[in-house]
Structure 1
Amino acid sequence: MPGPTAAPVDANTAEWALVEALAAEHPRSGRHNLYTESCGRWAADSTRTALTVRDESGTSENFTYTQLDGMSARLAGYLRSRGIGAGDTVAGILDRGLAPWLVAFAAWRLGAVYVPLFTGYGAAALADRLRLASARIVVCEPALQAALEDELPGTEIIGSATATDGRPGRPSLGQALAHPPYRPIAATGPADTAVMMFTSGTTGTPKACTIPHAGWLATVPFARHVLGTRPDSAVLGLSDPGWSYGLLTTGSTIMALGHRVIVQTGRFDAARILYALAENGAVHVAGAPTAFRRLLDSIPDGPPLPGLLPATSGGEPLDPETARSWSELTGVPLRNGYGLTEVGMVLADPGEGDGRLEPIPGWEVRLADPGRTASEGRLLIRRPPHQLSDGYANATPAWARLWTEDGWLATEDVFRRDSDGKLTYRGRVDDVIVTSGYKISPVEVESVLRRHPGVRDAAAVPTPDGAGGSTVRAVVETMPGYAGSPELASNLKDLVRQEAGRHAYPRIIDFTDQLPRTESGKVRRQALGPEGPGSALPRSTAPAAGEAQWP
């Protein structure tokens, strides 16, 4: 069994001690509130900008910590007048913009639990999660308000319109913000729940991760060492505030460290995002690999980006070609990151451009899985002093099964450890393809396929070989101007055969206009089925209208 891969224990201990020292309220003091950490600690400085919201027209509006403090106090006053207090749940189904932060901050001020949900879910799926969370009040995009009122007749549904009139006959966020402020901050402890975050699982009932007020500390090493934030830098987050990476890792944690967060409203538009980067000086970009691939298509025709700082990718594996292309065109590295909502960001690429990972300071991992080679196995993560989540609200036995008796979280992800100790993601435990005695990583096959100019994205899955075994099948999403054809399929097979080996090339290649994805943008390999054609892929698995443009 491979031994641990980690920085020396004393270095990890020192990292967590430094992290705790950065908090406004020391977690060991018994008092800790995520609003105080994310906003309140900086509110006395009326010149410090917390948030820049850039709309679809290209107009930007800046909000200081002082302004967010005042607005969230007024919203807290409204919520309190509606009976919201410590331990109650307030949900937000909100797009990128100002509203998610106001609702989260107001809830945390009162000691309530904030439940962020992705706007791409249908009304029934949202209602199921809201019932699981026992949400007392829901703030949502106006387009969802009527449908949620039908699904949840006993729940107060507030539209996110910031104008005081809102939608006629329905309460609005603008009206709530006209309420007298309530300024006291609840005396929450570090272990009290601040966020209930539903995972983006593709099967079964979604698990509700409970994130305590001190959970944000688990993401600080990522901000310090991977993003490498500095006093004058800002972070443009491309991830949705309905997920932990967008709300916490590249959102409230950045604000807690005193840095500005930039968000782009509306549909994903690569040109608009590039201009946002050009206008805002020293900026880190954080998003999914798919977003970076789409930005790369526009960089040659976009504005110069002289102030761009190292970028980071998370949510799905980053292929080396995307990382290299980003570095060549921008002059700064695109660093691969790996984490889970259950614990936080754990591994990262130190910036060498090959996508290989190592533990972020403070974290310790090892590989273990009987039957695999000594250099490959399931990733185990040692329980750190601070982790993002502390349980599943609706699945306590499932949470207990994640952990070994000696305190290691057993993930479902398989990695290879190279001779220099670096780790390469190979796929989920149930994703690895076994053919003719070889273990094939779908991630490796997909990475090679994406190097072809005609491939926007790809997924590799096993398919029966007719002799009782399996072989590799690839489903390819083509770029505009490229049509799926026998010639393109032959070229792609040759490319994988040359780059990954004869044992790994896909014997079957199907083409599709759009790969099926989860609500968070990850490819759903399970939805592809064992055989083609790609044209028969279920269209219902695509992202909801209006969200498909955001990877």
Structure 2
Amino acid sequence: MNETAHVDSFAKDNLPPREQWPTLVFELPELQYPPRVNCAVELLDKMVENGFADKPAVCNRTVAWTYRALLENANRIAAVLQDDMKLVPGNRVLLRGANHPMLAAAILGVWKAGCIAVPTMPLLRAKELSVIIDKAQVGAALCASELKEEMALAREQSPVLRQVMYYGGTQGALEQAMASKSGVFRSVDTSAEDVCLIGFTSGTTGRPKGTMHFHRDILAVCDCFPRSTLQSSADDVFIGTPPLAFTFGLGGLLLFPLRVGASTILLEKLTPETLMQAIQEFRPTVCFTAPTFYRQMAPLASKYDINSLKKTVSAGEALPTATRDAWQRATGISMIDGIGATEMLHIFISAAGDAVRPGATGKPIPGYRACILDDDSRPAGPGVVGRLAVMGPTGCRYLADPRQADYVHDGWNLTGDAFEMDADGYFWYRARTDDMIISAGYNIAGPEVEDALLKHEAVAECAVIGVPDDERGQIVKAFVVLKPGIEPGDATTKQLQEFVKQSIAPYKYPRAIEYRDSLPRTETGKLQRFKLREQAT
């Protein structure tokens, strides 16, 4: 490893041993990075130097920053982290906020200061935040003022979080601190293999896994999918729904546009209707969102002027052929489908234009390889359904987690998806290979929802699975055994649903609840979720 710039060695100390890393492949000439690189410098400073200073970079309805303005704001935030908060390279910084230019500047500022960004979903509750804070030993946070309540509760639960600075609203302490900074900052000279991002994803048990990514990884995903498949350029304007806390959103709505000198529209709390309105208003050329949104947007297309759109990217869950067809009929746009993973940082299988084969996700994008492993963990030929295995310039490195050995096998990344490859090398999604529920692009761990339900005084037992749904791909369904004396019915269902919404992120609540007298178990007492899945299909 190149000499680290990190004074705080926590990340390096908690990387998995090198022998447990996946094989990394850097076959493309554009993936040859120098041993020392700071990704924020590449995405901002160098773009300003190369003539993009006055080009629009990020905006919403109240803020419009050029590349120069975004650079200066990121520099001011980096100076606040270094001078006011006394952070040193390698410290972790929790980031809390809806999609907004300030959140974009905060992420970039963290990287410029040589610190490690830990973005979190705005909907997470204090309990979920505290798990992330403790796991990553996060000592500082930058948080949007409207999310102060849960942030304050998380801070109470996690003493390791010593300082929080809020931005926005009437409590904009971060903006006040930034006002005293010059807008010039000497970015930390980081190693290409210094960790700069810890993205958390829930596993099948609900225990979150921290995925560790280097400065080099940030650039690598920018130089693969957007270059070869999306073919984005400086003339593009990006828009979409995924939060910057998702690597899907971080790439599609911030990293990819900055890498080519394009512009991005960062809006929060979008619905299918308001996204269509925003497309009409801002005239974007590229849209990133989940199949659920495209399904709901297709019948609205005739009501809005969206002819600026040239490319639409779908990821986060499997894209049904019916959704792809409905979108193309309504808009004339051929959908770009893709599969990625938080562990891999972004999309690694996709297809666009004439290369699209409806129903298939696509082929490995340039820079990545993929194969199907059979039951004996050997590469299988066409027509075999097995575990998807991927290899490329990015790969899984979990933060101090024994599950690293489950994800990496003989150098391959095992994504947890079952796929089939056809004779032409196209990959076709078949199912998840674990208990993860993917609903409207959100990853939801069934056992985490079970844990929340079991805390309600009326629940004796429960099991949670994902069941097919036309609108959301899957929905969370709970099978509940009530305690004696509790009557099932609509009132009980609503009570349980509201209880879950208050204890974990609201999007995880069970949209369907079925009451049972008992649940299927083995002789040793283990819950047999597969029987519930069989009964639900």
* TM-score under structure 2 length normalisation: 0.73
**2:418 match:** 414
1:378-393 superposed matches below 5 A: 378-384=386-392, 386-387=393-394, 389-393=395-399
Matched length = 434
1:363-512 superposed matches below 5 A: 363-370=368-375, 375-384=383-392, 386-387=393-394, 389-395=395-401, 397-405=402-410, 407-430=411-434
Q: Which amino acid aligns with 1:325?
A: A
Structure 2 Cα separation of the partners of residues 195 and 89 of structure 1: 9
**1:482 match:** none
Shift of 1:310: 1.5
Structure 2 Cα separation of the partners of residues 13 and 112 of structure 1: 25
- Which deviations, in whole Å up to 9, do the C-alpha atoms of 1:58-78 show, x marking residues without a partner? x35321110011111112221
Shift of 1:173: 2.3
**1:5 match:** none
Shift of 1:390: 5.0
**1:235 match:** 238
Shift of 1:213: 0.4
Shift of 1:474: 9.1
Match status 1:223 vs 2:226:
yes
**2:326 match:** 325
**Cα distance change of structure 1 residues 474 and 75 upon mapping to structure 2, 3 Å threshold:** closer
Q: Is the 8 A contact 2:107 2:117 kept in 1?
A: yes
Q: Is the 8 A contact 1:336 1:355 kept in 2?
A: no
Structure 1 Cα separation of the partners of residues 508 and 417 of structure 2: 27
Q: Is the 8 A contact 2:349 2:363 kept in 1?
A: yes
Shift of 1:253: 2.9
**2:17 match:** none
SS of residue paired to 1:231: coil
Match status 1:33 vs 2:30:
no
**1:519 match:** none
Structure 1 Cα separation of the partners of residues 318 and 177 of structure 2: 41
**1:286 match:** 288
**Cα distance change of structure 1 residues 314 and 152 upon mapping to structure 2, 3 Å threshold:** same
Match status 1:17 vs 2:29:
yes
**2:316 match:** 315
Match status 1:210 vs 2:212:
yes
Structure 2 Cα separation of the partners of residues 282 and 420 of structure 1: 34
**Cα distance change of structure 1 residues 350 and 534 upon mapping to structure 2, 3 Å threshold:** farther
**1:86 match:** 89
**Cα distance change of structure 1 residues 79 and 373 upon mapping to structure 2, 3 Å threshold:** closer
Shift of 1:239: 0.5
* TM-score under structure 1 length normalisation: 0.71
SS of residue paired to 1:215: helix
Structure 2 Cα separation of the partners of residues 191 and 299 of structure 1: 44
**1:508 match:** none
- Which deviations, in whole Å up to 9, do the C-alpha atoms of 1:113-148 show, x marking residues without a partner? 011000111112112211222222212232332443
**Cα distance change of structure 1 residues 177 and 523 upon mapping to structure 2, 3 Å threshold:** farther
Structure 2 Cα separation of the partners of residues 370 and 333 of structure 1: 35
Structure 2 Cα separation of the partners of residues 547 and 431 of structure 1: 14
SS of residue paired to 1:367: strand
Q: Which runs of 5+ in 1 are unaligned?
A: 1-11, 21-26, 54-58, 433-441, 448-472, 480-514, 516-521
- Which deviations, in whole Å up to 9, do the C-alpha atoms of 1:77-121 show, x marking residues without a partner? 211122112101111111011121121111111100011000111
**Cα distance change of structure 1 residues 375 and 37 upon mapping to structure 2, 3 Å threshold:** same
- Which deviations, in whole Å up to 9, do the C-alpha atoms of 1:518-546 show, x marking residues without a partner? xxxx8465x54499x99759525568569
Q: Is the 8 A contact 2:372 2:387 kept in 1?
A: yes
Q: Which amino acid aligns with 2:56?
A: T
**2:447 match:** none
Identical aligned residues as a percent: 22
Q: Which amino acid aligns with 1:362?
A: G
Q: Is the 8 A contact 1:380 1:408 kept in 2?
A: no
**Cα distance change of structure 1 residues 226 and 534 upon mapping to structure 2, 3 Å threshold:** farther
Shift of 1:261: 1.4
Structure 2 Cα separation of the partners of residues 152 and 282 of structure 1: 39
**Cα distance change of structure 1 residues 13 and 128 upon mapping to structure 2, 3 Å threshold:** closer
Structure 1 Cα separation of the partners of residues 429 and 359 of structure 2: 9
Match status 1:103 vs 2:106:
yes
Shift of 1:301: 1.8
**1:199 match:** 201
2:258 maps to which of 252, 255, 259: 255
SS of residue paired to 2:208: coil
Q: Is the 8 A contact 2:125 2:150 kept in 1?
A: no
Shift of 1:185: 0.7
1:51 maps to which of 55, 58, 62: 58
Q: Is the 8 A contact 2:39 2:216 kept in 1?
A: yes
